[in-house]
Amino acid sequence: MVSNLFMLYLGSMSYYIAVDVGGTQIRVASYQAEKLEPLRLIRRRTHSRENTPEETLKQAIKDAWPESKPVKAIGIASPGPIDLAAGTIIKAPNIPQWSHFPAVDFLEREFKVPVYLDNDANLAALGEWRYGAGKGHHDIVYITVSTGIGGGVIINDRLLHGVRGLAAELGHVTVDPNGPQCSCGQYGHLEAFSSGTAIARRAHERIQQGVNTELSKVAHPTARDVAEAAEKGDRLAMELLEDAGKHLGRAFADFLHIFNPSILILGGGVTLSGRYILEPIRNALSRYTMSPEYLEDLVITLAQLGDEPGLVGARVMAESATIG
Amino acid sequence: MVSNLFMLYLGSMSYYIAVDVGGTQIRVASYQAEKLEPLRLIRRRTHSRENTPEETLKQAIKDAWPESKPVKAIGIASPGPIDLAAGTIIKAPNIPQWSHFPAVDFLEREFKVPVYLDNDANLAALGEWRYGAGKGHHDIVYITVSTGIGGGVIINDRLLHGVRGLAAELGHVTVDPNGPQCSCGQYGHLEAFSSGTAIARRAHERIQQGVNTELSKVAHPTARDVAEAAEKGDRLAMELLEDAGKHLGRAFADFLHIFNPSILILGGGVTLSGRYILEPIRNALSRYTMSPEYLEDLVITLAQLGDEPGLVGARVMAESATIG
């Protein structure tokens, strides 16, 4: 008992820094162990005239640092592929300066505490597992559908990383080999059919073909415009979301056969488009799953951590890497 | 030291029974801990006039049992889906009597030792990890291509099971939604394109269309006939294998994006068809993988455990479940 209380006391004296790197914004938060709300939350533009992105990052961490408190670790969520073993960001979309950027070394030298790095979709899954929709589940498939499509997979309470940390790229599986080109250069990937970018591109194509739609009033309709038009009953918008949802649901059926999770968590702006995309997802999922056992106790739900799942996940990573 | 030697002594006194249930044959082997070669290997026809399959199974285990030796556990490899938590065989292809057969309960009652059950493709992966092509690897994707297509995945030295043990069904992912019907009832799965059954079916279709081929001399050409004809330079046979290999390679690219393994192990009779299927697999794999990092240190190799990977895997399962 004494030692448990002592551990608890030590634990409550621990502080953590979480970083979420985005193409337009770097967000940094400091947390006290066991407390959900951040002590400080700092947002900085990733690109400024005065500073390089790494200077901005360093300064934002300094600003978020809890004064004269013992910070145990820093966790970073980065978009795009990272090299887990080397602790480097291989490529950060919209930050061309950060090609093979050694983020872990850079920050450990500066702040003299352990630094942990992972991809933002993986960390969003970890955040949902610990504090969000996935609480109590041990086998989780998390998919985020926004500009691109990312994934994070928890198996037996541990993130799936693979040998180099490049696993769980769930947007980059072929759903139709005759499909359009993907951002990665391959053809017919899920991301090329159902991401926000893909929905916007298809809207544009159909308008060019002269389809009668609300959306032709907007110069460059986004996936959000499509969702709003669908809510107003626009036929093209409804059809575009149905098509995107159908491809998502069919891919999810494959993910059930591959991972047999107890929960599917949908994150990202596109999944907030409501029933016009969620119903086609559910329909396709039950139609294309090969056996009812996969669906029996399956929970399908939206993510709960809102705008900052990567930040929460980065905190969980830093905290769990330094416990015990 | 004393206690280590004592453990070793105890270990060498341990015996294990492994069972591989097949549609035509039940194989049972007994092993002494630390020794690779079985003490006894028993084969029985699954279906006989005298006995039910479960009676045959029971009798075969009795015949393989090492006399007056302490058997620590029995491991069973079963084809088709199993319910891990309940210890039941949900469905065993070619053994219609075994729908939801409670194999673990049945054998534990009979033999009074712990019984462990898993699907044969999972256990083949486990066997390859411990004693075969996967030794020293921690992240393994194993695919067996024979009548059907099965998979087994090892992540961080542990089998991927999912919440009910239904994960890693790698033959049941969609490679082309407009493809032929699969044995599971869905359309366009990898199994419907590249299994032995699919290759034989396509050979038959092309012969019906009047294609000029060696294969038309055989009444019902099998995948093995196709492989032999390809070796003799038959154009149709080569084309059929190339097509099957291309679909396999493209699906494997997706598996790299999903699992980022350090090794891909190919088992099953069809992968023994030689370069006419292996070259298209390798070509498609490098063509359809989105980023060179996935391929850099990747080992692609044939399985090493030959005819009885499920038996070896069942032994590894029984042994590792009872150690420590």
Would you tell me which CATH number, out of the four given (1.50.10.10, 3.40.190.10, 1.10.260.40, 3.30.420.40), belongs to the domain A133-302? 3.30.420.40
User: How confident is the prediction along chain A (324 residues), in pLDDT tens digits per residue?
Assistant: 455 555 555 555 899 999 999 888 999 999 998 888 999 999 999 998 889 999 999 999 999 999 888 999 999 999 888 999 899 999 888 899 999 999 999 999 999 999 999 999 999 999 999 999 999 999 999 999 999 999 999 999 999 999 999 999 999 999 999 999 999 999 999 999 999 999 999 999 999 999 999 999 998 999 999 999 999 999 999 999 999 999 999 999 999 999 999 999 999 989 888 899 999 999 999 999 999 999 999 999 999 998 889 999 999 999 988 764
pLDDT at position B219 is 87
Measured CA to CA, the distance from residue B175 to residue B264 in angstroms comes to: 18
Top-level class of domain B2-125+308-322: alpha beta
Residue B224 has what pLDDT? 95
Tell me, what's the pLDDT at A324?
46
| Predicted pLDDT of residue B9 | 54
Mean per-residue pLDDT, B246-253: 98
In sequence order, the 6+-apart residues with CB closer than 8 A to the CB of A154 are A125, A126, A129, A134, A137, A138, A139, A140, A142, A160
Q: Quote the mean pLDDT of chain B.
A: 93
Say whether pLDDT at B239 is over 60. Answer: yes
B258·A175 Cβ contact <8 A: no
Fold agreement between B2-125+308-322 and B135-302 = yes
Flag the least confident range among A275-279, B12-16, B70-74, B296-300: B12-16
Report the alpha-carbon distance of residue A168 to residue B146 in Å, rounded: 27
> In this predicted model, which residue has the larger pLDDT, B80 or B30?
B30
Size of interface A-B (CB pairs under 8 A): 122
Query: CA nearest A138 in B: which residue?
Result: B163
CA–CA dist A278, A300 (Å, integer)? 10
Tell if the CB–CB gap between A166 and B90 is shorter than 8 Å. no
Indicate the CATH number for domain B135-302: 3.30.420.40
> CA-nearest residue of chain A to B287?
A186
How close, in Å, is residue A192 to chain B by CA atoms?
13
Closest CB from A138, A156, A258 relative to B258: A258
In degrees and rounded to multiples of 5, residue B88 shows phi and psi of -115, 150
pLDDT at B155: 97
Helix, coil or strand: residue A217: helix
pLDDT digits (tens, 9 = 90+) for B48-103: 888 999 999 999 999 999 988 899 999 999 988 899 989 999 988 889 999 999 99
For residue A149, give the nearest of A189, A93, A185 by alpha carbon: A189
A80 close to A119: Cβ distance less than 8 angstroms: yes
Interface ipTM > 0.90: yes
**Inter-chain residue contact A257 with B175, CB threshold 8 Å:** no
Fold of A2-125+309-322: Nucleotidyltransferase; domain 5 (3.30.420)
Q: Domain residue spans in chain B?
A: 2-125+308-322, 135-302
Alpha-carbon distance B50 to nearest alpha carbon in chain A (angstroms): 34
Which helix or strand (DSSP H or E) is residue A312 part of? helix A309-322
**B54: distance to nearest CA of chain A, Å?**
25
Give the predicted TM-score (pTM) of the model: 0.93
- The pLDDT score that the predictor gives to residue B322 is 76
